[in-house]
Structure 1
Amino acid sequence: MAPLVLLDLDGTLMDSAPGITASVAHAFTALGLPVPDAATLRSFVGPPITDSLPAHGVPPERLAEAVGAYRAEFRATGMWDNAVFAGIPEQLARLRAAGCELAVATSKPEVFAVPIAERFGLSALVDGVFGAPLDEQATKADVIAKALAALGRTPADGPAPGLGRVLMVGDREHDVVGARAHDIGCLGVSWGYAHPGELEAAGALAVVDDVAALENAVLSLV
């Protein structure tokens, strides 16, 4: 069974912070709430928006309104204010040439993740793009379970032997935690949006600092 590498999208394959942070700022403004500072806005990249908004001052009774404002702006402009990190396409191509199966596993709703991956040329470099439902009521572990089941690594109704060699690659602690729920190790990448020491504290197997070193780091762990 070929090694399977699950790849986070935001902060791992793509620099999506500009569009996400602008859409979050728009949502706070639309609700008449103080817009968080730049560092706080950056922390919205990665986790589900339904977790981040209430964690940073949106009252529970206004969460649906805030999510609606965010998504309207994100659909209109934010999702395209995005770029693949330099060198990522080449690294993915090298991993596939080395015999790895690749898939995107992201907390971003799949209805956004799929067209983004297509628009920016990532779909042709991976074997599937898997994301959260639109209501984002799914953990990273849930998204990973969906990817594993779709790729034939485990039955859809629960864990089972036969995963083969599987590795998660991500830039935030929830990537590490979600992978661990399936007894999968996680390689952290430092060019994303984690706070200093976040990935190490979460238990990442290693942290790679340079996109050009990604292939070798992955192959050393699978």
Structure 2
Amino acid sequence: MSGKPTLFFDLDGTLIDSEPGIINGIQHVFASMQQPVPDAASLRPWIGPPMRDSFQSVFGEEAQVAQALALYRQRYDTLGWTELTVYTGIPELIATLKAAGHRLAVVTSKNERSARQILANLPFGTSFEEIVGASDDGQRRFKSDLIAEALRRLSLSAEACVMIGDRRMDIEGAVHHQMRCVGVLWGFGDREELTTAGAGAIVQTPAELEACFA
């Protein structure tokens, strides 16, 4: 294909290490609902999939799921969204790709309001033409649906884009659309997870990712 591909970036585990804010928020929910609080290690797999589905796997009743989500968002909106660090090399990567002429977007399972709040406070946040996240009602939360929404908003075809992410959901969402995809190893997924999901390439550093598009 001609022209430079538009690059869709996942957020958590790809651009930012958001583990503290997410884990602290989940633990806050369990404590508030008077449930045994899981340790941080057992909650790491929760980073990436839609939070609604993770809570549904623990709290069977919809009313409890709604309560858990409300408690989580309440803490995340006030404090959790600040508990993050940007991965080393990411600001330079984004600047280089933008300067090279790539259109950039964020496509995340995180609530869209939270994603926009985070990116508005990062120095490279303005580099992204669009930010697509989960809807408040949870109807739009799976990666395939989020990618579809990004394609719609940007008036793009799947073959004109590349999805970049750290978990199988990112890769599976791209595969669903027959979109090229790159898995990154500095986040929350491992090589086996990304390979099994169908990643077209896997990189260990932002510099390696930059080289994919040089």
Query: TM-score, structure 1 length as denominator?
Result: 0.89
Tell me if 1:58 matches 2:59.
Answer: yes
Cross-structure match for 1:188: 183
Query: Equivalents in 1 of 2:144, 2:78: separation in Å?
Result: 29
Greater alpha carbon shift after TM alignment, 8-17 vs 139-148: 139-148
Tell me the SS of whatever aligns to 1:124.
Answer: helix
Distance change in 2, residues 1:40/1:196 (3 Å): farther
Query: Equivalents in 1 of 2:137, 2:22: separation in Å?
Result: 17
Percent identity, aligned pairs only, is 41
Normalized per residue, which structure has more helix? 2
Tell me if 1:205 matches 2:208.
Answer: no
For structure 2, which runs of at least 5 residues remain unmatched after alignment?
A: none
Query: Equivalents in 1 of 2:187, 2:210: separation in Å?
Result: 17
Cross-structure match for 1:144: 147
Please give the residue correspondences for 1:1-222 in structure 2 after superposition, counting only pairs within 5 Å: 1-55=3-57, 57-61=58-62, 62-138=64-140, 139-153=142-156, 162-195=157-190, 197-217=192-212, 219=213
Q: Which residue identity lines up with residue 69 of structure 1 in the other structure?
A: L
CA RMSD of aligned residues (A): 1.5
Residues 123 and 129 in structure 1, CA contact (< 8 A), matched pair in contact too: no
Query: Equivalents in 1 of 2:21, 2:117: separation in Å?
Result: 15
Q: Which residue identity lines up with residue 60 of structure 1 in the other structure?
A: E
For structure 1, which runs of at least 5 residues remain unmatched after alignment?
A: 154-161
How many aligned residue pairs are there?
A: 210
Residues 158 and 178 in structure 2, CA contact (< 8 A), matched pair in contact too: no
Tell me the SS of whatever aligns to 1:130.
Answer: strand
* Structure 1: 4+ residue segments shifted above 6 A: none
